[in-house]
Amino acid sequence: MNIVLLGGPGAGKGTQAQKLVEEFGFAHISTGDLLRAAIKEGSKLGKKAKGYMDAGQLVPDDLVIDLVKERLEADDAQGGFILDGFPRNTAQAVALDSELSIMERTLDAALLVSVDPDVIVKRLSSRRTCRSCGYTAPAGTETCPRCGGEMYQRDDDKPETIQHRLDVYATQTAPLVEYYKGHSILKEVDGDRPVDNVYADVKALLNL
Ligand code: AMP
């Protein structure tokens, strides 16, 4: 199954993706995680992306599209994938469609995890992320419950950047809801509930 996850920053896309990956073995393709890994490695891509990410802006399309194309071609993505954080605008959605059509593959669903922006601001400002594996947990968690790595606050989870990320989502990414409605693959789940309740609905919506 090939799935795109949509939803504002902090809506819980990564958490739901993680659960689907653990239960069904899909490849988890998170452009945010891939970009953070590139920054950590100090690669050319990481150097180009860092300024945009710290400012809560989108990294230029060509950089992200190349990253996703490479990941879609990897062996582990052939049995199904979950795209988390991509596409983020219409140009990326069109590029994804054309890449998939070259690969003779299709998207089965675009799943929108909806959460009210006020809830998102609260969630993100208290979110901590593992430096090693990207696991997220509330503030106060100092050691990653999954891998024992150090938990830190992402620069773009600081209050001054959160509003900007929400604005970027509203203007650039939210139009994709109509895009995927037009392709008759949009599904929507209320993300403002406990993780397991959201997950039960996600599976039902995806017929899993
Ligand atoms: P995320 O972890 O998905 O919240 O992404 C963190 C940051 O990475 C975003 O605020 C952007 O700066 C960058 N980013 C992630 N995915 C994309 C994308 N598809 N297009 C452009 N920038 C992205």
Q: Give me the pLDDT at residue 159, please.
A: 85
Residue 150 burial (CB count, 10 A): 12
- CATH number for the domain running over 2-115+173-205: 3.40.50.300
What pLDDT, on the 0 to 100 scale, is given for residue 160? 83
Residue 42's region, left for phi above 0, alpha for psi from -120 to 50, else beta, is left
Q: Which atom of ligand 1 is nearest to the CA of 10?
A: 4
List 71, 127, 128, 187, catalytic entry: 127
Q: Whose CA is nearest to atom 14 of ligand 1?
A: 32
What atom in ligand 1 is closest to the CA of residue 56?
10
Contact 156, 169 (CB under 8 A): no
Q: Which residues pair with 204 in a beta bridge?
A: none
Kindly give the distance from the C-alpha atom of residue 80 to the centroid of ligand 1, in angstroms, as a whole number: 22
Instruction: Report how far Cα 89 is from the mean position of its chain's Cα atoms.
Output: 13
Give the Å distance between the CA of 64 and the centre of ligand 1: 9
Question: How many whole angstroms separate alpha carbon 35 and alpha carbon 205?
Answer: 30
Is residue 131 among the annotated active site residues?
A: no
Locate the domains of the chain by residue range.
2-115+173-205
Alpha helices in 55-194 (DSSP H): 61-73, 90-102, 117-125, 159-168, 175-182
**Pocket around ligand 1 at a 6 A CB cut-off:** 9, 31-32, 35, 52-53, 56-59, 64, 85-86, 88, 92, 156, 165
State the residue for tokens 């509930």: 193
pTM of the model: 0.91
Peptide bond into 175 cis (omega under 30): no
Residue nearest to atom 11 of ligand 1 (CA): 58
Provide the residue-wise pLDDT of the chain in tens; the chain has 208 residues: 999 999 999 999 999 999 999 999 999 999 999 999 999 999 999 999 999 999 999 999 999 999 999 999 999 999 999 999 999 999 999 999 999 999 999 999 999 999 998 899 999 999 999 999 999 999 999 999 999 999 999 989 998 899 999 999 999 999 999 999 999 999 999 999 999 999 999 999 999 9
Q: Are strands 2-6 and 27-30 parallel, antiparallel or unpaired?
A: unpaired
Q: In the annotation, is 88 catalytic?
A: yes
Strands (E) in 50-145, as ranges, are: 81-84, 109-114, 127-130, 136-138
Secondary element (H or E) of residue 87: none
Q: For the chain, how big is the Rg over CA atoms in Å?
A: 16
Q: Select which of 71, 88, 128, 187 is catalytic.
A: 88
Q: Is 123 a catalytic residue?
A: no
